[in-house]
Amino acid sequence: MLQIPTTLKIVSSEPDVNADGFTNTFNGIGKIKIVYENGDVYIGIVNSSNMFDGPGFYNYNSLGIYDNRGGNYYLGQFKNGEKHGKCEKEMNWGTIFEGFYQNNMRHGLGKETYRDGTWSKGFYVNNKRHGEFQFMDINGLEYSSMYSEGNPQNRASAQLREIREIREIRESEENEEIRESEEMN
């Protein structure tokens, strides 16, 4: 998961921010655009303590320093400098997360959609999967698995086992049909 950097040097900011950070932004409260020396960009609200607070957009590695694709970002709520509240969308190396944060950790209902179109959704507690999570695999088949504090509690749900059994039966029936067809010819 991407983290908001706290020690980056600010290269530019708008409106009217001095060299030490945020001092002159709308008398300490307001919308601002900050560009960091590594190319990260924040656009959003800052509070009187000069921390991200309210709706904001943070674009990580916009220069593609760690990966030539760049494009990692967080769009959602902040509170006192941390991700907190509804996350409209977070892109992390091709995985999209939509859900909720509390104190910079995933907390509450969330859904991850992966590059190949598969997804998982369920409830997070302190950044860990907890309770029933639902998944969709590359073939469009859905199954569920239970988690406790981020640890899977079962290898596969009964639903997944049933799907596998159905597939095996179908494959067996198809193989039988092929053999019968070959025997007739």
Q: For residue range 22-55, list pLDDT tens digits in order.
A: 444 434 456 788 888 877 888 888 888 878 999 9
pLDDT at 159: 59
Backbone angles phi, psi at 151, to 5 degrees: -105, 130
* Band of pLDDT at residue 85, cut at 50, 70 and 90: very high
State the chain's mean pLDDT as an integer.
78
Residue 76 has pLDDT above 90, yes or no: yes
pTM summary value: 0.68
The domain limits of the chain are 1-95, 114-185
Query: What count of residues does the chain have?
Result: 185
Of 60 and 24, which is predicted with more confidence?
Answer: 60
pLDDT at 25: 41
Contacts of 100 (CB under 8 A, 6+ apart): 85, 86, 87, 106, 107, 108, 109, 110, 124
The DSSP secondary-structure symbol of 175 reads H
As a whole number of angstroms, the distance between CA 72 and CA 160 comes to 33
Q: Any bridge partners for residue 12, and if so which?
A: 35
Query: What are the pLDDT digits (tens) for 108-122?
Result: 999 999 988 999 999
Contacts of 80 (CB under 8 A, 6+ apart): 47, 49, 51, 53
